Structure 1
Amino acid sequence: MSALQDLIPTVNKLQDIVTNTNLTDLDLPILTVIGSQSAGKSSVLENIVGKDFLPRGTGIVTRRPLILQLINIKEDDPLVHKSDFEADQDHSEVTLEDHLRNAGASQVEPAEWGEFLHLPGKRFYNFNNIRKEIENETSRIAGKNKGISRIPINLKIYSPKVLNLTMVDLPGLTKIPIGDQPTDIEKQIKNLILEYISKPNSIILAVSPANVDLVNSESLKLARQVDPLGKRTIGILSKLDLMDHGTNALDILTGKVYPLKLGFIGVVNRSQQDISVNKSLEESLRAEEEFFRSHPAYKNIAGRCGTAFLAKTLNKTLMHHIRERLPDIKAKLNTLMGQTEQELASYGDLNIVSKQNRGSLILMLMNKFANNFISSIEGNSSEISTKELCGGARIYYIYNEVFGNSLLSINPVSNLPVQDIRTAIRNSTGPRPSLFVPELAFDLLVKPQIKLLESPSHRCVELVYEELMKICHNCGSQELSRYPKLQTKLIETVSELLRERLGPTTKYVESLIEIHRAYINTNHPNFVGAAAAMSSVVEERQKQKQKQKSKDHARSPNGSVPLENGTSSHKVSDAGSRAEELRELERKSSNTSTSGDKELFLNFFFGKDQSQNSSSPPSQPQPSQFPSEPDGLQFNIPSQSPIEKKMEHLNMKEEEELSEREELECELIRRLIISYFSIVREMIQDQVPKAIMCLLVNFSKESVQNTLVQKLYREELFDELLYEDENLSQEREKCEKLLATYREAAAIISEVV
């Protein structure tokens, strides 16, 4: 039995550890006292202790959980005569009789006192001062406006008159806020009570007044929520002496009304009048015993009622509950110790860094960082994300999806209107009419279009560079996080390496574009060529004319459909080859060259259309457009020159419709540009990723380790690089204390298990 008696002090020690270290993971067996306001909770606790020490008053008096540890101690225990503490006695309350009695007797240390966990080394021999300290400590944390707090007050009471018990007194349940109480005071109190009674290791002491119908008991209602089978609930019926005459609670006490596995126990508390007249607890306990012994309904069960029986039952119940739960607590402690040891190992050993091994430690961390960088690019990292593309896979995505789609989205002639193509053709012929489409016009037009590939290529380089920077910032490890300055230096060094390679890579990609613009290779095997392009253009135009002819024939009465230039449709029906089409176009163009030398000179000088319709007469010059002299131009032009007006007319002519030959020429140039641009685009799509891999990605992978060693492996930098993070040091210290606490708790349990 002595081993059983040691269980409660063992749990008390664990409870102190839990409170001091704020351990929420360790659920210890405890007696939890709940009940409505004025149900008699405080009186029950004081009867068990045998002392008046709890605050009293109206409204919510208990506003913080009170963890009450009752410790049975013998009068000759060495702890009684311990001298290294601060005593607290209120001599003003000592009567003259007590003073004379104490003065004549030998000084004997009292064997009953209280100690608060928040005031270590101080004993309260006067229990009135314990009440005052509870009130002051409650106000200090919970304030003075009747609010509540979850932070508990720990009180130990040493006495030879008590049994070993550990109980927690919780605020009384209330319905309506009074005075300065918060409006949600009922919800706050219920949540606080549920926090304690929901734990499986908690034994619930549900205090209910006997003079109120049991179905209205708020304490039993809450207990049933967390303990529906009543396996760990003890019912306490208070105020049995206040029931109406002729009524009794025998059926409740015998378990016929509300069955509980641990049963109901009836008690009689001191009345308010008893408290007012300072009736001692000893007298009250004797009166309670006499009440049950003499009561006609309770005399048969008097041995199972009263405060003395309640204390013994609680002691026995708690000991057996502790014995059942202690193996689980020990297993839980072992699990917590293992988790804490792993966490502490992740912070690293503080004692491994010395002057002798600083260099090897830095080299090891550098190699780890470099290997993580390389592994992330190659896809060999052990910490590959499953949520998004990263590392080498992201670079591959940039090459094939982002860069490839951006190149394919470029329309090589979207920014090249037909008017610009016609102007380029005209400008490339100079002052002479062209027999064929000039090749220089194609060169002039295709080179700016190739320049369109430069912007996506630049963006591809930037995206790969950004991804490499992201990889660099994610190459840290838990061990490296101990040294934030070293990690920062490693990231800065690799970032500087990447920035140095960004410039040469970008320039080389630009040079690829310039190389393709420098020489237009029309002999490329995939180039469509002028002859093939012309054949396809002529063939398409013939098909369009045939369709138009069919439509016009259906509308014309005689079936003869004239063309736009006045020539009948049968004149171009035999144009099946490029040469025949060009000769036809030349012949049409020559119709406009029959005018006089002056008109021909003006047409070329002002850029007039040389392929005007032969059916329409040449436009006659207006007096406002030409000089009045018929024989030539007047070169001494006044300020209001007709030539200036003619230049305006020239700009307007640029917006006129194209002739059939110009349409053919523009369409031919357009198709040649598209064909050649596609060739260059395909080569750029292949060459740019190769250049980036060679000059930026692979170069960085191959040189990252050497660069880190060259720039950071210096003895004068070792102290700075191995400066440990203060937050990490605090976390390690906290983890070490937590592990020491777990080990201390495990050692306490091992004494009895």
Structure 2
Amino acid sequence: MDSDLIKLVNRLQDTFSNLGGELDMPQLVVVGSQSAGKSSVLENIVGQDFLPRGQGIVTRRPLVLQLIHTPIPDPSSSPPPYTEWGQFLHIDKRFTDFNEIRREIEQETYRVAGQNKGISRLPISLRIYSPNVLDLTLVDLPGLTKIPVGDQPSDIERQIRNLVTEYISPPNSVILAVSPANVDLANSDSLKLARSVDPQGRRTIGVLTKLDLMDAGTNALDILTGRKIMADALDSEAEFFKNHAAYRNIAHKNGTKYLARTLNQVLINHIREKLPDMKARLNTLMGQAQQELNSFGDAAIFGDKNQQGALILRLMNQFAHDFIASIEGTKVDMSTKELSGGARIYYIFNDVFGHALATIDSTAGLDNQDIRTAIRNSTGPRPSLFVPEAAFDLLVKPQIKLLEAPSLRCVELVYEELVKLCHNCRSPELERFPHLHAQLIECVSELLRERLGPTSDYAQSLIEIQAAYINTNHPAFISGSAVAAQTATSQASKQSIPPRPVSAEPTNGTQTPENGDESSAEEPTAVNGVPSRDGRSVSSTLHDRARTTGSSSTAGTSTKSSSRPHHGPRHSYNGPGPVGGSSLERSHASLTPTPTGRDVSIVDAPSPTGLMAGKRTLDGNNAAYDMRSLGKHIEAVSGSNNASQMTQREEMETSLIRTLIASYFSIVRQSIQDLIPKAIMHFLVNYSTKEVQNRLVATLYKPELLSDLLNEDEALVAERTRVKALLDAYKEAFKTLSDVNLKPL
């Protein structure tokens, strides 16, 4: 019965080692410093030389050594049976030559741990069958060291100590602490390490080696290097204790044979003691293995079409639910470390998109020369009396276009976020079917791709709509006349001219009648004898004053337009002009003959445009111009881009246009910042959440696709097979331990 216990433990250990089980089996763990004699102890117990030898660290992988006692074979049988042999767990071969066993250990060590002196945690399992051994399970570990030698890793001491601690820490391990007798036990590394995990020494056995080296001059080189045969070594050991003056009275309690019997009994007693704990642990492991096996699903559904259809429908519904819950923020396992799901969409709308719009300069790319040129071009051959609306429209539309790029990028960012959410919708059960999972992701991604186009088109159309109709009558749009007044005031202050009201006023220094006489206010005024245009603003008058340097006296009346131009469906903005007047209203003064009928000659009057050279003569019937340098003047004007050459009026007009563009751009930007997120939610997000489940069912729920969609991952199938075998091993081990009829201690 005692031998059966050890064999049972060995069998369970092999099973769990192959299947990756976690049951800690009772075993003897050999611990000692390098050259302490660990290998000699193990070889003496086996009675064979089979362990690698050499300088420095030799054992670089744990060696799980199972000794199995076999009866002596009948020598008369044919062919003669082998008496002793070894068998590794990693190779299906019986080794009868123990030198080959040594070479296989070396090759397997090199294969895993490499050619240098590094170590590996992966054990080598070796069984030795012999009539000369007792049933034992021992683990030989790398020897403890302090200083790296040769090409050993710099942290070799820490690696070995961690490995040894891992094996001796479990309560089911019996520690075999090997120490050389010629070293003070107070400095024994093996005993120190054993005491750290077993302070009371209840599962620690101390083994002293090299007793014959304690006397000076004793030489045991042949024995330690294994050059003597093992039988002679065992006889020499027995003779040493029998004839030694200090040890002969206890010779029967020393030596390798006594150690083997003691270890056998200790291991058996330890197994008997730990059997209840092993059964309890097996109960726990069986429950865990059963739960893990259930997570892989039942393979029996693959023969039933109805069960396959029901499974796919359930997985589709779960996938769609997880996708929608991620957007709405109702998913159970929502992250607490970073923004996810719908919160990231809100972040895109509020922070990313909002910041992008806020950083756009309303007049980006517009310099003063561009504005000046637009104003000139929009008036055609006529001089500009007021800031033309055509120039404002021409300049503000490209600025509105600047909002298109961030709007379309906002659509793309939300689309990309939805695709990420789709890929993150997974569950352990769904991962069981990678093809189905991939098809679900592809189906939802296709739905999102379909919605990307219409959403982007609508976002682009919102920008085009804003540019299609410039509503300068918007309540939030700044008043053009107010801007003109501010600009005129600013310009006047620069020229040390007291600010004047925006309404029409005389420019010849006379005061406006205080009695409110409208006829007096409408009387034409003259600057140096030249009539001033009726109804002009301060800016227009300033412009006239800058253009006119000489005049002659004349009499006449100003012509006022009694009707305003047609503006179509849009409103006109209030440009600089008389209070209550239209911004497009233009008044032109007429040059009329004097009462005497004489011709009026303007001699050497400077031309505002600089196109005329020489003298201009007006006789009512004929006009003579000096046209010699006209072409050069046109080239000079069209190629000029020097903003410093602008007149005071042009500076005011440029500043006015820039302010009006900024005001209107702010209105459009605010509208776009509100409409784009709404469009994205309607056309992309909400549409996708409403249609995702219907799209999945319509695309994938087809009888001819069921089998293909439910193809399982090969790695998962292999893992389920392993867990099933491990569960069966746990059940068998539990049944075996429960049936053991324990003998009294």
Normalising TM by the smaller chain, what interval? 0.7 to 0.9
Evaluate the alpha carbon distance shift between residue 208 and residue 695 of structure 1 in structure 2; reply closer, same or farther with a 3 A threshold: closer
Aligned match of 1:167: 138
Equivalences for residues 578-657 of structure 1 within 5 A? 581-582=538-539, 584-585=541-542, 587-589=544-546, 591-592=548-549, 594=551, 632=624, 643-644=631-632, 646-652=634-640, 655-657=643-645
8 Å contact kept, 1:626–1:643: no
8 Å contact kept, 1:63–1:171: yes
8 Å contact kept, 2:364–2:399: no
State which of 83, 100, 124 in structure 2 corresponds to 1:152. 124
CA distance in 2, matches of 1:506, 1:467: 15
Evaluate the alpha carbon distance shift between residue 241 and residue 509 of structure 1 in structure 2; reply closer, same or farther with a 3 A threshold: closer
Evaluate the alpha carbon distance shift between residue 388 and residue 570 of structure 1 in structure 2; reply closer, same or farther with a 3 A threshold: farther
CA distance in 1, matches of 2:431, 2:225: 68
Evaluate the alpha carbon distance shift between residue 466 and residue 593 of structure 1 in structure 2; reply closer, same or farther with a 3 A threshold: farther
Aligned match of 2:10: 12
User: Which letter does structure 1 place at the counterpart of 2:410?
Assistant: C
Are residue 350 (structure 1) and residue 299 (structure 2) matched?
A: yes
1:498 CA displacement: 1.6
Evaluate the alpha carbon distance shift between residue 361 and residue 659 of structure 1 in structure 2; reply closer, same or farther with a 3 A threshold: same
Aligned match of 1:493: 443
8 Å contact kept, 1:111–1:158: no
User: Which letter does structure 1 place at the counterpart of 2:205?
Assistant: I
Aligned match of 1:69: 66
State the identity as a percent: 51
8 Å contact kept, 1:34–1:219: yes
Aligned residues: 652
SS of structure 2 residue aligned to 1:515: helix
SS of structure 2 residue aligned to 1:356: helix
Aligned match of 1:669: 657
Equivalences for residues 357-396 of structure 1 within 5 A? 357-396=307-346
Equivalences for residues 494-643 of structure 1 within 5 A? 494-541=444-491, 581-582=538-539, 584-585=541-542, 587-589=544-546, 591-592=548-549, 594=551, 632=624, 643=631
1:643 CA displacement: 0.8
CA distance in 2, matches of 1:273, 1:720: 64
Aligned match of 1:319: 268
1:434 CA displacement: 3.3
Are residue 724 (structure 1) and residue 683 (structure 2) matched?
A: no
Are residue 447 (structure 1) and residue 397 (structure 2) matched?
A: yes
8 Å contact kept, 1:211–1:240: yes
CA distance in 1, matches of 2:456, 2:53: 82
- Name which of structure 1's ranges 137-146 and 417-426 shifts more when overlaid on structure 2: 137-146
CA distance in 2, matches of 1:276, 1:416: 101
Are residue 287 (structure 1) and residue 239 (structure 2) matched?
A: yes
User: Which letter does structure 2 place at the counterpart of 1:504?
Assistant: P
CA distance in 1, matches of 2:649, 2:360: 28
1:120 CA displacement: 8.8
Evaluate the alpha carbon distance shift between residue 511 and residue 44 of structure 1 in structure 2; reply closer, same or farther with a 3 A threshold: closer
8 Å contact kept, 2:49–2:226: no
CA distance in 2, matches of 1:729, 1:58: 45
CA distance in 2, matches of 1:277, 1:515: 102
Deviation track 1:516-575 (CA, whole Å, cap 9, x = no partner) reads 2222222222222222222333344455566x999xxxxxxxxxxxxxxxxx9999999x
SS of structure 2 residue aligned to 1:479: helix
Evaluate the alpha carbon distance shift between residue 569 and residue 312 of structure 1 in structure 2; reply closer, same or farther with a 3 A threshold: farther
User: Which letter does structure 2 place at the counterpart of 1:152?
Assistant: I
CA distance in 1, matches of 2:665, 2:336: 39
Evaluate the alpha carbon distance shift between residue 679 and residue 208 of structure 1 in structure 2; reply closer, same or farther with a 3 A threshold: closer
Aligned match of 2:421: 471
SS of structure 2 residue aligned to 1:33: strand
Aligned match of 1:683: 671
CA distance in 1, matches of 2:136, 2:229: 29
SS of structure 2 residue aligned to 1:652: coil
User: Which letter does structure 2 place at the counterpart of 1:345?
Assistant: N
CA distance in 2, matches of 1:237, 1:698: 79
Are residue 712 (structure 1) and residue 700 (structure 2) matched?
A: yes
CA distance in 2, matches of 1:580, 1:278: 125
1:275 CA displacement: 7.4
User: Which letter does structure 1 place at the counterpart of 2:364?
Assistant: S
Are residue 138 (structure 1) and residue 105 (structure 2) matched?
A: yes
User: Which letter does structure 1 place at the counterpart of 2:653?
Assistant: E
1:308 CA displacement: 4.8
User: Which letter does structure 2 place at the counterpart of 1:447?
Assistant: K
- Name which of structure 1's ranges 393-402 and 474-483 shifts more when overlaid on structure 2: 474-483
Aligned match of 2:28: 31
1:350 CA displacement: 1.7
Evaluate the alpha carbon distance shift between residue 323 and residue 628 of structure 1 in structure 2; reply closer, same or farther with a 3 A threshold: farther
Aligned match of 1:264: none
User: Which letter does structure 1 place at the counterpart of 2:12?
Assistant: L
CA distance in 2, matches of 1:108, 1:524: 112
Deviation track 1:314-347 (CA, whole Å, cap 9, x = no partner) reads 2343334334444444444444443333333332
State which of 191, 196, 209 in structure 2 corresponds to 1:238. 209
1:370 CA displacement: 1.7
8 Å contact kept, 2:181–2:209: yes
- Name which of structure 1's ranges 674-683 and 134-143 shifts more when overlaid on structure 2: 134-143
SS of structure 1 residue aligned to 2:678: helix
CA distance in 2, matches of 1:541, 1:715: 82
Structure 2 unmatched runs, 5+? 500-506, 514-520, 522-534, 553-587, 589-603, 618-622
CA distance in 1, matches of 2:43, 2:427: 58
Are residue 52 (structure 1) and residue 48 (structure 2) matched?
A: yes
User: Cα RMSD over matched residues?
Assistant: 4.6
CA distance in 2, matches of 1:306, 1:741: 39
CA distance in 1, matches of 2:280, 2:43: 36
8 Å contact kept, 1:71–1:158: yes
8 Å contact kept, 1:53–1:130: no
- Name which of structure 1's ranges 182-191 and 720-729 shifts more when overlaid on structure 2: 182-191
User: Which letter does structure 2 place at the counterpart of 1:584?
Assistant: T
Are residue 692 (structure 1) and residue 680 (structure 2) matched?
A: yes
8 Å contact kept, 1:209–1:239: yes
TM-score (norm 1): 0.73
1:677 CA displacement: 1.6
- Name which of structure 1's ranges 625-634 and 36-45 shifts more when overlaid on structure 2: 625-634
8 Å contact kept, 1:625–1:643: no
8 Å contact kept, 2:67–2:134: yes
8 Å contact kept, 1:46–1:52: yes
CA distance in 2, matches of 1:572, 1:456: 55
8 Å contact kept, 1:31–1:166: yes
CA distance in 1, matches of 2:174, 2:265: 12
SS of structure 1 residue aligned to 2:473: coil
8 Å contact kept, 1:270–1:284: no
Deviation track 1:402-453 (CA, whole Å, cap 9, x = no partner) reads 1222122222123222222222222222222333322222222222222222
Structure 1 unmatched runs, 5+? 82-101, 248-267, 551-567, 596-609, 611-616
1:634 CA displacement: 7.5
User: Which letter does structure 2 place at the counterpart of 1:69?
Assistant: Q
Evaluate the alpha carbon distance shift between residue 388 and residue 276 of structure 1 in structure 2; reply closer, same or farther with a 3 A threshold: closer
CA distance in 2, matches of 1:330, 1:313: 26
8 Å contact kept, 1:66–1:155: no
TM-score (norm 2): 0.74
8 Å contact kept, 1:461–1:506: yes
Evaluate the alpha carbon distance shift between residue 224 and residue 525 of structure 1 in structure 2; reply closer, same or farther with a 3 A threshold: same
User: Which letter does structure 2 place at the counterpart of 1:135?
Assistant: R
CA distance in 2, matches of 1:273, 1:644: 112
